[in-house]
C-alpha cells in the first residue's frame, strides 16, 4: 500500500528508481527516491525479493509510472 503523501511527493517531484542488493539473500530491491542528485531521499522502498537487477528495476519503474499517472481528483475533493 502506498500512502497519499507518498503519491503526492512522487507526482510533484523529480523521482527515480535506485537499486540495492541484500548481502545475505543476494536478491535485489528498489527504492523510489526524491531527486537523486540533490537529496536522494527514499520515498518508497521494496524488500529485496528479485533475482535480478533487471527485474527489480522494471518493477520499481512500473510502480513509479503508475503512481505518476494515478488520478488524485477524487481524494482532493474528499479533503476540501
- Extended beta strands in the chain, E state: 15-21, 28-34, 41-45
Rounded average pLDDT over 75-79: 69
Q: Which three cell numbers stand for residue 7?
A: 503519491
- Non-local (6+) Cβ contacts of 22 within 8 A are 28, 29, 48
pLDDT single digits (tens) 8-49: 999 998 999 999 999 999 999 999 998 767 767 899 999 999
Q: Which three cell numbers stand for residue 73?
A: 481528483
What's the whole-model pTM score?
0.85
Half-sphere exposure of residue 20: CA atoms within 13 angstroms, side-chain side:
12
Q: Within its chain, how far is the Cα of 60 from the centroid?
A: 6
Selected residue with higher pLDDT from 77 and 52: 52
Selected residue with higher pLDDT from 58 and 80: 58
Selected residue with higher pLDDT from 78 and 69: 69
Residue reference for cell 540533490? 38
Amino acid at each position: 500500500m502506498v500512502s497519499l503523501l507518498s503519491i503526492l511527493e512522487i507526482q510533484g517531484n523529480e523521482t527515480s528508481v535506485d537499486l540495492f542488493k541484500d548481502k545475505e539473500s543476494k536478491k535485489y530491491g528498489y527504492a523510489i527516491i526524491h531527486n537523486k542528485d540533490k537529496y536522494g531521499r527514499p520515498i518508497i522502498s521494496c524488500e529485496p525479493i528479485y533475482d535480478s537487477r533487471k527485474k527489480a528495476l522494471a518493477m520499481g519503474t512500473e510502480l513509479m509510472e503508475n503512481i505518476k499517472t494515478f488520478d488524485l481528483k477524487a481524494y482532493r475533493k474528499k479533503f476540501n
